[in-house]
Structure 1
């Protein structure tokens, strides 16, 4: 078992993702934001919807978001995806940054923050700062869609953040929960057989945040 995130072969994993469909979590979250936009007065060209993806990999979800009308800021630690992301950015509204998510970095204000099966690889000591930065980046009524690993997952005990249900509920304090699915099953990972314990959630920042009008 790979104890540290640095030991995991994310480059091989990202390469193997080529050709897979867009994750349903990204499709559902984007649709929620677009439906909200349709009910709002934010229609000027300079007020574009902004999406942030943490852990973009090869950019499958980023392409979907850009095609859906978002300006997309992507962040990933894997340098092997830089060339592909740069190629997409030549024709799509995508801005890519290579960065370690465990090290503080600026997250632009966003209508949608998406992270598919990535945040749990951030070490526990760095996770609260990153989660706080994500919460701060959400615009009023902004949507956060994320996969997180639970404490009964086979990878629990390795470097990362693996949450009990009580841990998760504490993270969600003050957010409007739109969907929360907890799953536990035996299956496979990129590395082989695995017991999965995951949370998939879509939450929303309340429309009125303290200090905003």
Structure 2
């Protein structure tokens, strides 16, 4: 197991995420979706809960899912205590066999950290969960990424990444293919940002 898959790695990573800005992809998806108004959002790989809190503050009911021990306590610190619109589930993606109907599913830098069979199964579950008119907003890793070749992760080429939205409307697409910083040190990032809306 590489260090980036260890519990200690993710504990350290999440400890340093609690005060960062809300990720651009989440903010863009929220802008496209409009105020939550009691609708349901799912935050997959919620980590320290920065995006979960932003969604709650915008009026969404949020199901937050992460595999790391202490997820609920960490989220409650970030959101400021128990929240009537928040549900927390601690489990690995490989154990997610169904999700409730949702108007927004967000997964920031989370989906690639599972092997291809698990990724494909979860993506099928995500597509089924998004209600007509709802959105999925995800980052997926490309084949030029420094970590490509790790069999415990998933990497897609551009055509495969776009195919995730087959039959849906792509509202946002961006490809990053450049060196940059990471929690574990400098690396080459190859990331596709995708926001897709399920057609009514």
Superposed pair shares fold, TM > 0.5? yes
CA pair 92-62 structure 1, distance change in 2 beyond 3 A? farther
Structure 1 unmatched ranges of 5 or more? 38-42, 208-213
Question: Counterparts of 1:189 and 1:85 in 2: how far apart (Å)?
Answer: 22
Given that 1:2 and 1:8 are in contact with CA atoms closer than 8 Å, whether structure 2 keeps it comes out as no
Given that 1:54 and 1:115 are in contact with CA atoms closer than 8 Å, whether structure 2 keeps it comes out as yes
Larger Rg over CA atoms: 1
**Given the alignment, which residue of 185, 190, 193 partners 1:197?**
190
1:98 has 2:52 as partner: no
| SS of aligned partner of 2:72 | helix
TM-score (norm. length: structure 1): 0.86
Structure 1 residue 8, shift from structure 2 partner:
7.1
Question: Counterparts of 2:26 and 2:106 in 1: how far apart (Å)?
Answer: 7
Runs of 4 or more consecutive aligned structure 1 residues displaced over 4 Å after TM superposition: none
Structure 1 residue 80, shift from structure 2 partner:
2.8
Structure 1 residue 200, shift from structure 2 partner:
0.5
Question: Counterparts of 1:104 and 1:12 in 2: how far apart (Å)?
Answer: 25
TM-score (norm. length: structure 2): 0.91
Q: CA RMSD in A?
A: 2.0
Given that 2:52 and 2:64 are in contact with CA atoms closer than 8 Å, whether structure 1 keeps it comes out as yes
Structure 2 unmatched ranges of 5 or more? none
Question: Counterparts of 1:114 and 1:67 in 2: how far apart (Å)?
Answer: 16
Aligned 1:118-133 pairs, distance under 5 A: 118-133=110-125
